[in-house]
Amino acid sequence: MNDLKNLIIRNRKPLIAALAAVGVVCWFLGSSFISLIHNKIELKKLSSQTVELDEQYQQLQKKLDLLKKQDPAYIERVARVQYHMSKPGETEFRFSPQK
């Protein structure tokens, strides 16, 4: 025990310098590591968002193709659902959904 205490007392300056160097390295690497983790999480979130946006794009592209083809059944469905239109003489009934 006394030998260890004497060793620490004799080598105090190099020991403090070594601890300071380790602290500086941990400081720089620690912030880099945290930044790396943050970037990985952000990349995963953006990748999933990209997949969702690609799916939305494909759906909108299909709708656009149907509108360009002037498909009468599709145009009628859009007019009835989105714009609440009905043919002359028809009566529109609206029911509130049961919970």
pLDDT of residue 60: 95
Task: Indicate whether 38 belongs to any domain.
Answer: yes
pLDDT of residue 1: 60
Task: Indicate whether 17 belongs to any domain.
Answer: yes
Task: Indicate yes or no: pTM above 0.85.
Answer: no
Task: Indicate whether 91 belongs to any domain.
Answer: no
Number of domain units in the chain = 1
Residue 19 has pLDDT above 90, yes or no: no
Task: Indicate whether 40 belongs to any domain.
Answer: yes
Ordered DSSP codes for 31-87: HHHHHHHHHHHHHHHHHHHHHHHHHHHHHHHHHHHHHHHT-HHHHHHHHHHHH----
Residue 81 has pLDDT above 90, yes or no: no
pLDDT of residue 52: 97
